[in-house]
Amino acid sequence: MNRLILLPPLAFLIIFFFIQALSYLFSKISYRPKETSPDSRKPYACGEERYDHMLQPDYSSFFPFVFFFTIAHVATLILTTVPLESSRVLMIPLLYIASVGVGLYILFRR
């Protein structure tokens, strides 16, 4: 019987119905206002009726920074998971690091 509960579909169903029961119970005790205002469904823009004149952020300097961190972290992950017992296996990460260097060169050339 203990192993029956550990079956993934049965465990999923148990957790699913438990969460549904909790959701139902919490919906009964949650705070709800007696009446809703007509403005409660409008998008919020800091009290502005028209917000098309507001500042639009520029992400052009953000994306190279993000790509650099992604490339650096993936390269670190590749290098730290390579077994050092075989020199044949070491060739693949070295090729990968060379391609990372080319990618970083393309990313930061201006």
Confidence band for 16, pLDDT divided at 50, 70 and 90: very high
Tokens of 63: 């994306």
Phi, psi of 44 (to 5 degrees): -90, 130
CA angle, corner 52, sides to 47 and 53, nearest 5? 90
Considering the chain, what is the average pLDDT of its residues?
A: 79
Number of residues in the chain: 110
Confidence band for 17, pLDDT divided at 50, 70 and 90: very high
What pLDDT, on a 0 to 100 scale, did the predictor assign at position 89?
75
What pLDDT, on a 0 to 100 scale, did the predictor assign at position 55?
66
What pLDDT, on a 0 to 100 scale, did the predictor assign at position 40?
66
Collapsed DSSP state (helix, strand, coil) of residue 46: coil
Q: What is the pLDDT of residues 38-78, one digit of tens each?
A: 766 666 656 556 656 666 777 777 887 888 888 888 888 88
What pLDDT, on a 0 to 100 scale, did the predictor assign at position 49?
61
